[in-house]
Amino acid sequence: MMRPMVDLVGQTAVVLPGTASDEVFVRSVFEEPLAQVGLHLTAPETTTVEEHLAALDNAWNGTPLLVGGISLGAHVAATWAVRHPDRCAGLLLALPAWSGPADHAPAALAARASAGVVEREGVDSALVGVDGWLGEELSRAWRRHGPRLATTLRAASNSEAPTTAELSGLEAPTGIAACDDDPVHPLGVAQSWTKALPRAALRTTTLNALGTDRTTLGRAAVLALLTALAK
């Protein structure tokens, strides 16, 4: 059992999904770990960067928010915090995939390749070789996007994350989570974000653990935030 976050208890965390993922996965990752420390979860049913940013704008009611996301959602949450530092009470960032322009980041290359296969051959072909829990998650989430899937993947692959210089000016306490065996979301990116942010801590898990228990990723982020709050 994790100890309550006294500084944030009772707040709602607005957590965004990753590229072509969805709020179902966000809830499976974050709902239980947040509840254990006295926090509530809002998982918007948003897809694009613009929709993610609008959801955060709409959630703000004059009181600083705890915001976060997974992969692309983490990028967007951090971008929003950089733009509105006075509106951000803290950050929960899981699996950041790159800093600044996407360029040739593994996650961006994978999204572009998948978009091409989806356009030429369909979702089933794009999922060939993606086995186990990840295949199940992508099969469920990707089919929900329907004909927008390829466009969604390609747009995400060309989006920008905050630069480490931008992150260095963000004072909000930040919990960062990464899988140390994930080639698509390299641990080095999470480490560089942790180093850049003045009040950040990093906790890791593994893809194998995540496959068995989705909450391991959310728990890592929440534990990291607890550490950051003490800084």
Give residue-wise pLDDT tens across range 2-61: 554 546 777 899 999 999 999 999 999 999 999 999 999 999 999 999 999 999 999 999
Extended strands (E) in 32-143? 40-42, 65-70, 88-94
How far apart CA 105 and CA 2 sit, in angstroms, is 34
Q: Which residues contact 166 (CB under 8 A, 6 or more apart)?
A: 82
Q: Are residues 131 and 203 in the same domain?
A: no
The overall longest dimension of the chain from CA atoms, in Å, is 52
Given a cut of 90, whether residue 104 has pLDDT beyond it is yes
Say yes or no: 84 and 16 in one domain.
yes
CATH number at residue 27: 3.40.50.1820
The verdict on residue 1 lying in a domain is no
- The predicted pLDDT at position 188 comes to 98
User: Residues 89, 175, 178, 149: what is their CA dihedral angle, to the nearest 10 degrees?
Assistant: -10
> Do 198 and 219 sit in the same domain of this protein?
yes
Is the model's pLDDT at 106 over the cut of 70? yes
pLDDT for the residue 103: 94
Looking up tokens 């996965």, which residue turns up? 25
* Number of structural domains found in the chain: 2
Q: What digits encode the pLDDT tens for the residues 66-89?
A: 999 999 999 999 999 999 999 999
Q: Are the beta carbons of 184 and 77 closer than 8 angstroms?
A: no
Confidence of residue 205 (pLDDT cuts 50, 70, 90): very high
Give the domain range for residue 129.
106-154
Q: Are residues 175 and 127 in the same domain?
A: no
In a domain? residue 135: yes
- Give Cα 105 distance to the centre of its chain: 16
Residue 81 and residue 35 share a domain: yes
What is the mean predicted confidence (pLDDT) over 100-124? 96
User: Does 36 share its domain with 127?
Assistant: no
pLDDT digits (tens, 9 = 90+) for 116-173: 999 999 999 999 999 899 999 999 999 999 999 999 999 999 999 999 999 999 999 9
Is residue 76 domain-shared with residue 27, that is, in the same domain? yes
- Whole-angstrom Cα distance, residue 201 to residue 75? 17
Does 113 share its domain with 200? no
Helix H segments across 158-214?
164-167, 187-196, 207-212
